[in-house]
Amino acid sequence: MHVELISVTPDAERLIERAARTCYDTTDRMSSSDTSTFLEKLFNAGHLSVFEHASATFRIAGVSRACSHQLVRHRLASYSQRSQRYVAEKEASYVVPPRVEQGGKALSDTFRSAMEASWSAYAELIRLGIPREDARYVLPNACTTELVMSANFREWLHILKQRLARDAQWEIREMCGLIYEKLREIAPSVFGLIARESPKNH
């Protein structure tokens, strides 16, 4: 799994403060204000619309399509995903769940055999003249994918709160953990407002 921050609103926290202070006609106080304290007050008061003025875009690679299917439920974000219709799956590339990986050789072998059978069937269908857009139907949810995802800070706060929760599915939780660390690094006064829970289990 690889998560790369490829774009973010410059000086995002000050932009959010400026937008909020416009509401209260207090932009003259920006030079002497503590931005972090001000943003925390906005967050606690539920004044979240101003967080929409800043946004971040990530390149996400090596996650499964099972993970991306969960991710696109967040409909206020924008997505561009590697196409299985136009791009051939030339070699088997898939995510193995930790419970399978750690479950012993018999379990791991069963899973890997299923993956190999899927790719073998995919290659054979293409060899027989079936177009990729139809051959891909035999590929599993475990198949890796790549996507670019953009969202404003308010939506990122929502996504991270949901997907970093203790009971979130392990893969999307791991992915969001990487996103959280990068966002907290560039906008600590915003993303420090939410906590990262310890997982219950995988």
Q: Which positions are catalytic?
A: 163
What is the pLDDT at residue 32?
A: 82
Residuewise pLDDT in 10s, the chain (202 residues): 999 999 999 999 999 999 999 999 999 998 887 999 999 999 999 999 999 999 999 999 999 999 999 999 999 999 999 999 999 998 999 999 999 999 999 999 999 999 999 999 999 999 999 999 999 999 999 999 999 999 999 999 999 999 999 999 999 999 999 999 999 999 999 999 997 665 665 4
Element holding 5 (H helix, E strand): strand 2-8
The per-residue pLDDT for 190 is 97
Residues 6 or more apart whose CB falls under 8 angstroms from that of 15 comprise 9, 53, 54
Q: What pLDDT, on the 0 to 100 scale, is given for residue 195?
A: 78
CB-neighbour burial class of residue 99 (10 A; exposed 0-12, middle 13-18, buried 19+): exposed
pTM for the whole thing?
A: 0.92
**The predicted structure's pLDDT at residue 197:** 62
Instruction: List C-alpha distances in Å: 142 to 3, 92, 111, 139.
Output: 18, 10, 10, 8
Structure tokens at 201: 């289990």
List of domains in the chain? 2-81+143-191 (3.30.1360.170), 98-138 (no CATH)
3: left (phi over 0), alpha (psi -120 to 50) or beta: beta
In this predicted structure, what is the pLDDT of residue 199?
61
Q: Are 74 and 159 in contact (CB under 8 A)?
A: yes
Quickly count helices (H) and strands (E) in the chain.
9, 4
φ/ψ of residue 79, rounded to 5:
-135, 145
Number of C-beta neighbours around residue 164 at 10 A: 20
Residues 112, 115, 119, 121: what is their CA dihedral angle, to the nearest 10 degrees?
110
